């Protein structure tokens, strides 16, 4: 066998291996082939996600129902504890996390975010009739509840340090924090403005917002996908769906239904 023949055989073998290599994974194509998109959220985060007599409802569901319709697949909704959602996403247990996730620089490094779905700026709520707490700085030296593992938790910690000390108590769900606030075991609860506005709107006899309620830098909620090349097509399809829904008024209608008002949002996570 000559050297020329050997080289020709080797090159042919490399080319054959290239032709036989599997096509690159494409999450959107896989989802469309299955006819469904598997999601994860925490169904104890009103007004975004709630269980009403065992039926899932809320602003997130209304929004994602429309997004799934635009993509042409059926959504599968799963109730997963918040602390298990992002780890579960990373190992492929579901396609997307649709629990409202606050966009942060650290998370942008690790995950792919959809365009924002709501304002997430951290705010404070108190028991109705508690006139000792008026503005955010009044929580200095007080005990404040917040959901564990959230961006609001970290913002509250930082704000408490600025004030010279706040006792931060973590909860698995916001409902648990609201229950302790109503029972007098907390002075206040920190959370996103939409969540707390809905709480006060639903239970005005029990709770009231601080005035002003918000503190810290403006932030936004969005949904999260894995940060990988295979997810790029799905991320683009969701971005296109949200842009279309913004233009035709569906986003506005859903916000007004659940929040009582409309806030214009950036059309990309990087613009928040």
Domain boundaries, the chain: 27-118+221-266, 122-214
Secondary structure of the chain: what % helix, strand, coil (to 5)? 45, 25, 30
In which band, very low, low, confident or very high, does the pLDDT at 130 lie, cut at 50, 70 and 90?
A: very high
Residue 247 has pLDDT above 60, yes or no: yes
Region 220-231: mean pLDDT is 96
Q: Would you state the CATH architecture of domain 27-118+221-266?
A: 3-Layer(aba) Sandwich (3.40)
Residue 198 has pLDDT above 80, yes or no: yes
Region 56-63: mean pLDDT is 98
d(CA 101, CA 78): 16
Whether the domain at 27-118+221-266 and the domain at 122-214 fall into the same CATH topology: yes
Does the domain spanning 122-214 belong to CATH 3.40.50.150?
Answer: no
Report pLDDT for 205.
97
Q: Are strands 188-192 and 74-76 parallel, antiparallel or unpaired?
A: unpaired
Residue 85 has pLDDT above 80, yes or no: yes
Single pTM value for the model: 0.78
Region 200-228: mean pLDDT is 95
Residue 231 has pLDDT above 90, yes or no: yes
């Amino acid at each position: 066998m000559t050297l020329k023949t050997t080289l020709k055989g080797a090159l042919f073998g490399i080319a054959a291996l290239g032709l036989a290599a599997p096509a690159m994974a494409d999450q959107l194509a896989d989802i469309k082939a299955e006819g469904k998109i598997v999601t994860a959220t925490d169904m104890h985060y009103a007004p975004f996600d709630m269980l009403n007599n065992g039926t899932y409802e809320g602003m997130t569901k209304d929004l994602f129902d429309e997004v799934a319709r635009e993509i042409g697949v059926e959504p599968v909704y799963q109730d997963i504890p918040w602390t298990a959602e992002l780890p579960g996403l990373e190992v492929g247990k579901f396609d997307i996390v649709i629990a409202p996730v606050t966009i942060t620089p650290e998370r942008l490094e690790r995950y792919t975010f959809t365009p924002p779905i709501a304002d997430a700026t951290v705010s404070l709520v108190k028991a109705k009739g508690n006139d000792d707490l008026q503005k955010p700085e009044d929580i200095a030296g007080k005990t404040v509840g917040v959901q564990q593992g959230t961006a609001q938790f970290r913002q509250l910690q930082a704000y408490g340090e600025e004030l010279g000390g706040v006792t931060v108590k973590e909860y698995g769900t916001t409902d648990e924090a609201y229950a302790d606030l109503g029972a007098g075991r907390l002075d206040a609860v920190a959370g996103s403005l939409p969540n707390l506005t809905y709480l006060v709107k639903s239970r005005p006899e029990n709770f009231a917002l601080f005035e002003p309620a918000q503190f810290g830098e403006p932030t936004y909620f969005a949904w999260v996908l894995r940060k990988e090349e295979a997810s790029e097509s799905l991320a683009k399809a969701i971005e296109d769906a949200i842009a279309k829904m913004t233009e035709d008024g569906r986003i506005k209608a859903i916000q007004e239904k659940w929040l009582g008002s409309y806030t214009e949002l950036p059309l990309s996570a990087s613009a928040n």
